[in-house]
């Protein structure tokens, strides 16, 4: 062992190294904790397009318990149909046309029991009636046709216990959105399960990110055109006691607030029902925003292509310019376009954004496309530019980047410039 190796480090330097190692260990633990297997991920229980009428209450008596229950379900179908027709046409339930019980049996897709009490001769229950959209549409008439939104990525945020959570763990708010029957809504919700890389990509920091480049990549990965962020703040007066909740409907990469409201639950057992009601009311806010044209996709999330030149500009005017149709044989043809596959160091989203911005500034180049995203590692980007690899190397060197390797697959790194002597 050398003498230098045996000498003790100065106290300040030793403390700095220890702090740095502690920070790296904490960051590594946080990323591992977000990706480690555990109780995470709640798939939507139903993505069908059924119409749903909830909260249908019945109180029916009968000679036996089974007879009372069957009569209660019959009455619930009749009441659910009247509520659905009134909701679709904006009229009173009494104005709905009466359908025979046989017809109702054919259009009802299912009945869910929310609460029920069964006695020897009495049935009291709160039920949810599901109507098949295809079979019910003909009885609803033209009023049943509603416009649908573009695909909206859902990132539910819950504030509970002083900190925000999305998909890091299974939250009651995520479970409420998984229970929601989105098929009957005018909003096309894209609901992630919450497994894989979802906890890293879909969290509070992403919902407040202003950069549009990263948003485009994320929405393309989930097959969405825009994003909605339903938020809920939960406050408990004491363990097991009343719960106060404030709900907020946010939309777009700028988290625009569309509306908010407050609900309360008497105890923890009533929390799921309150959250389900909150989801339904948020869906109403998003539907109203869609009708008011406030839920249109943000134009900054769409990459617009250059408009083609008008036809009249491509036709020579022989009357004014007799030489317009003469082809200049001495003119140099434009360089051929070459497709490149670039390996880009992407320690974080900001580093990837800087690399993509440098590629977009190359004259004559195409829009770079991220074909493989790997934050903290190496991402793969497809890019086309005039000329060969040497021309692209010079263009990026003038912008502070350098290319390594040969052929169509190159590695793009920060460094290099027009006057540093490197190729």
- Residue 382, pLDDT score: 85
Domain end position, chosen among 252, 270, 299 = 299
- Residue 28, pLDDT score: 47
Whether 7 is in a domain gets the answer no
What CATH number is attached to the domain comprising 273?
3.40.50
Residues found in the chain? 423
**pLDDT single digits (tens) 371-384:** 777 777 788 888 88
Q: Assess whether pLDDT exceeds 80 at residue 25.
A: no
- Residue 338, pLDDT score: 81
Contact 296, 251 (CB under 8 A): no
Instruction: Give yes or no: residues 138 and 187 share one domain.
Output: no
Over the chain, what is the mean pLDDT?
A: 78
- Residue 155, pLDDT score: 93
- Helix-strand-coil split of the chain, %, nearest 5: 35, 25, 35
Higher pLDDT, 417 or 353: 353
Instruction: Work out the average pLDDT over 18-40.
Output: 49
Higher pLDDT, 206 or 321: 206
Query: What is the secondary structure of 375-408 as a DSSP string?
Result: TTEEEEEEEEEES-HHHHHHHHHTTTEEEESSSS
By CB neighbour count within 10 A (0-12 exposed, 13-18 middle, 19+ buried), where does 368 fall? buried
Whether 408 is in a domain gets the answer yes
Instruction: Give yes or no: residues 275 and 156 share one domain.
Output: yes
CA distance 412 to 379: 10
Question: How do strand 377-386 and strand 369-372 relate by DSSP bridges?
Answer: antiparallel
With a CB cutoff of 8 Å and minimum separation 6, the contacts of 6 are none
Instruction: Give yes or no: residues 124 and 166 share one domain.
Output: no
Instruction: Work out the average pLDDT over 190-203.
Output: 85
Instruction: Give yes or no: residues 163 and 285 share one domain.
Output: yes
Instruction: Give yes or no: residues 241 and 373 share one domain.
Output: no
Contact 187, 152 (CB under 8 A): yes
Task: List Cα–Cα distances, 349 to 37, 200, 210, 415, in angstroms.
Answer: 24, 12, 12, 18
Instruction: Give yes or no: residues 270 and 409 share one domain.
Output: no
Instruction: Give yes or no: residues 292 and 169 share one domain.
Output: yes
Question: Structural domain of residue 98, as residue ranges?
Answer: 51-144
Q: Assess whether pLDDT exceeds 80 at residue 314.
A: no
Whether 317 is in a domain gets the answer no
Whether 325 is in a domain gets the answer no
Residue 49 dihedral angles phi and psi, to the nearest 5°: -105, 30
Instruction: Give yes or no: residues 163 and 273 share one domain.
Output: yes
Confidence of residue 85 (pLDDT cuts 50, 70, 90): confident
Whether 43 is in a domain gets the answer no
Domain end position, chosen among 243, 274, 299 = 299
Confidence of residue 296 (pLDDT cuts 50, 70, 90): confident
- Residue 90, pLDDT score: 74
**pLDDT single digits (tens) 96-140:** 888 898 889 888 988 989 899 999 999 999 998 888 877 887 787
**pLDDT single digits (tens) 152-178:** 999 999 998 778 888 888 889 999 998
What is the number of domains present in the chain? 3
Partners of 344 in beta bridges: 379, 412
Share of the chain above pLDDT 90, in %: 24
Whether 378 is in a domain gets the answer yes
Whether 23 is in a domain gets the answer no
Instruction: Give yes or no: residues 282 and 157 share one domain.
Output: yes
Higher pLDDT, 417 or 334: 334
Instruction: Work out the average pLDDT over 207-225.
Output: 86
Whether 181 is in a domain gets the answer yes
Instruction: Give yes or no: residues 178 and 137 share one domain.
Output: no
Q: Which of 261-275, 323-337, 345-359 has the highest mean pLDDT?
A: 261-275
């Amino acid at each position: 062992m050398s003498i230098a190796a045996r000498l003790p480090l100065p106290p300040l330097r030793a403390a700095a190294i220890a702090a740095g190692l502690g920070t790296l260990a904490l960051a590594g633990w946080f990323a591992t904790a977000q990706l480690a297997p555990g109780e995470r991920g709640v798939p939507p229980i139903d993505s069908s397009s059924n119409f749903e009428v909830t909260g249908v209450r019945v109180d029916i008596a009968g000679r036996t318990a089974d007879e009372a229950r069957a009569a209660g379900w019959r009455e619930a179908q009749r009441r659910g149909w009247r509520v659905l027709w009134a909701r679709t046409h904006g009229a009173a339930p009494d104005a709905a046309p009466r359908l025979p019980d046989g017809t109702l049996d054919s259009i009802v897709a299912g009945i869910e029991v929310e609460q029920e009490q069964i006695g020897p001769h009495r049935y009291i229950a709160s039920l949810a009636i599901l109507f098949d959209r295809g079979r019910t549409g003909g009885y609803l008439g033209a009023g049943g046709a509603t416009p649908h939104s573009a695909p909206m990525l859902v990132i539910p945020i819950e504030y509970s216990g002083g900190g925000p959570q999305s998909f890091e763990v299974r939250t009651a708010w995520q479970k409420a959105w998984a229970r929601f029957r989105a098929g009957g809504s005018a909003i096309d919700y894209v609901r992630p399960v919450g497994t894989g890389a979802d906890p890293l990509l879909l969290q509070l920091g992403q919902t407040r990110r202003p950069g549009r480049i990263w948003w485009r990549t994320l929405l393309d990965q989930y097959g969405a055109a825009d994003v909605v962020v339903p938020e809920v703040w939960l406050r408990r007066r004491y363990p097991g006691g009343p719960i106060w909740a404030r709900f907020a409907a946010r939309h777009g990469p700028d988290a625009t607030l569309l509306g908010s409201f407050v609900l309360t639950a008497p105890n923890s057992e009533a929390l799921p029902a309150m959250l389900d009601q909150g989801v339904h009311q948020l869906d109403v806010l998003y539907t109203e925003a869609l009708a008011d044209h406030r839920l249109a996709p943000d134009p900054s999330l769409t990459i617009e292509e250059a408009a083609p030149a008008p036809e009249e500009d491509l036709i020579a005017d022989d009357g004014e310019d007799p030489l317009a149709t003469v082809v200049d044989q001495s003119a140099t043809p434009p360089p051929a376009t070459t497709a490149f596959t670039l390996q880009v160091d992407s320690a974080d989203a900001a580093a990837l954004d800087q690399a993509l911005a440098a590629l977009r500034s190359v004259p004559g180049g195409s829009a770079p496309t991220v074909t493989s995203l790997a934050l903290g590692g190496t991402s793969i980007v497809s890019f086309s530019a005039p000329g060969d690899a040497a021309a692209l190397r010079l263009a990026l060197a003038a912008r502070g980047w350098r290319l390594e390797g040969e052929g169509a697959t190159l590695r793009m790194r920060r460094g290099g410039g027009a006057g540093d002597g490197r190729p």
